[in-house]
A and B are shown apart, each in its own frame.
Chain A
Amino acid sequence: MTSPQAKPLVEISDLHLSYTMQRATIQASRGASLTIAPGEAVGLVGESGSGKSTLARALLGLNDPKSTRIDSGSIFVDGTDVTRFGERDWRVLRGSSLSMVFQDPLSFLNPVMRIDRQIVEAIPKSMRAEGVSERVDDLLRLVKLPQAARRSYPHELSGGMRQRVLLAMALASKPKLLVADEPTTALDVTTQAEIMDLLGELRQRLGMAMLLISHDLGLVSKACERIYVMYAGRTVEWGPGSSILKTPAHPYTKGLFDSARALRLPNGLFATIGGDVPNLAHKIEGCPFRMRCPLAMPKCTTMSPATQVLGQDGHWVRCWAAQDSGIAPAQGNDVKNA
């Protein structure tokens, strides 16, 4: 499904984006690059504050245009430069090519409107001509909701069913890309597994691409063909999921995956990354990870790492210390590394 020759559906190149909040300017994207091929499942991971959601919102045109500015770089969707799109252009694009689901379905559903009407409203006007009611039936069947759910109100449904409603609404415009930002974080593991299975099945059936944003690395690794790792507003490593998992090249990626595995080191301590993500209101010279990095060297303070390719399978990294063969095992972080 992911031929590297195919024209990308999404191409974000070296995006720099900032927004103002309480008179501070937050530089939330500082060199983010990401491509998604038609039909491809791509994962975006990183700690909170790494700029994942801002990047996703930039791709969907959902950042507030009054406070947000794209400083440099570009976003192309389906061959069109959307970098300078206005609200009207975005609405057209979101009604045809792009859709999204988020963590908390309840806050996106109208509490006093029955499910079927909400799904009808999600069907673009251009597609409402032929049998709207049949279309609602199709969508409900697609997300495996019983017909009885048609006449329900959101509060009458379980969390998993609400997420299915949101998914039906997202699919109503037959999108080429679904952006799913923490879609299962609020759900129990068994419900999560059902929703993820459903997403995988729908992608196959509809040939739809997906950008999955999650802090759950296990989930992303299972669902996605390629993974991007983001740190301090920039993409620092990306490539095929299997390659990132087996031979992470960036010390941040390695720290993130070791932490996620709840790995106990030989000294009995849990693998972790010391310290905190940097404040994105401040300017950062050199590599933004160097303050927490076990492999930092003098060069990292002064020079931003260049992007280098590892091997043949499209695995890239931005790190001076990264070697083709991957990096040394993590060092135990002292508990006092606040």
Chain B
Amino acid sequence: MHNSGPILSIQNVTKRFRNNAGDWFHAVNDVSLSVAQGEIVALVGESGSGKSTLGRIALGLIRPDSGSVCLDGRDLAGLSPAELRAARRRMQPVFQDPTASLNPRKTIRALLAQASHPDAIELEAYAIGLLESVGLTPGSEYLARFPHELSGGQRQRVAVARALAMQPALILADEALSGADVSIRGQILNLLLDIRQKRNVAYLMITHDISVARAFADRVAVMMRGRIVEHGPAGEVLTNPTHDYTRSLLAAVPEL
């Protein structure tokens, strides 16, 4: 676990699906991508580019047709069901809409207890610690509340706290900030930076938000029709792109 190799390494992964007409198409086509410890990698592209499928393959939720997904250097395909469960704990997703992903009938206490690492003891204190690490202080005041009693920004923070409950090495954020107001977006990005600094968590961020990818990520991969067409340091790729598709993507974004 403490090697210097990548946490996540996706190699030559391909996944095909059948469309409504029964024809096969490549959702992900021979894609390789890695994420190092504490690194922020953004995956950008339009809907249908395959970025969310790739995210699900990374989480071990979809099995690729070919290629390999390695976590801490171990191929997910070779793991026993118990090992795969343990591996999945190391990678936690945060989704777009916290209102939809947090069970409205459960208190924050219950939501965090349910998501906690099996080794966590004294769950109440553990939950309070998690809440405070996402800026909800004092944490004890939030335990008995339900998601609908929180503001949008606070719900997003709870969603991040829940992802942290498993002590992951990697957080996969699939359009996690897409519905958020820009003010909330800034708050959550700062929170993610803070968590990275304290816990050395890596992020794989799937997003269509070019300005966030450019300012937040270390590296970026641009996906188009199942392939990565451009890949490199985020500032460079999203400022001076070399691929036509990246150029057209940038040209379409109204910059401030």
Contact = CB atoms under 8 A, between A and B. Distances in A.
A337 B187 contact: yes
B189 interface: yes
A335 B190 contact: yes
Contact of B254 (A221, A262, A263, A270): A221
Interface stretch (A129-137, A186-194, A293-301): A186-194
Interface string A42-59: 000001100000000000
A41 B254 CA distance: 16
A189 B157 contact: no
Contact of B46 (A188, A257, A338): A188
- Chain B interface secondary structure, helix, strand, loop or mixed? helix
A218 B212 contact: no
B126 to A, nearest CB: 19
Interface stretch (B78-86, B101-109, B146-154): B146-154
Nearest to A222: B254
B211 interface: yes
Contact of B135 (A188, A223, A336): A336
Interface stretch (B59-67, B115-123, B245-253): B245-253
Interface stretch (A114-122, A169-177, A271-279, A313-321): A271-279
Interface residues of B, number: 38
B23 interface: no
Contact of B211 (A190, A196, A262, A274): A262
Given A193-B252, A218-B253, A270-B215, A259 B208 contact: no
A268 B193 contact: yes
B99 interface: no
B191 interface: yes
B8 to A, nearest CB: 25
A259 B252 contact: no
A83 B112 CA distance: 50
A256 interface: yes
B209 to A, nearest CB: 8
A259 B135 contact: no
Contact of B183 (A221, A245, A273): A273
B154 A338 contact: yes
Interface string A88-104: 00000000000000000
Interface centre among A259, A264, A276, A338 (most CB of B within 10 A): A338
A221 B255 CA distance: 9
Given A256-B182, A338-B154, A190 B252 contact: yes
Interface in A231-279: 245, 255-257, 259-264, 268-274, 276
B56 interface: no
Contacts of A336: 135, 137
Nearest to A336: B135
13 contacts: A47-B184, A48-B181, A221-B254, A262-B215, A270-B185, A272-B185, A272-B187, A273-B186, A333-B186, A335-B135, A336-B137, A338-B137, A338-B157
Given A193-B252, A218-B255, A259-B182, 5 more contacts: A256-B183, A261-B256, A276-B154, A335-B190, A335-B193
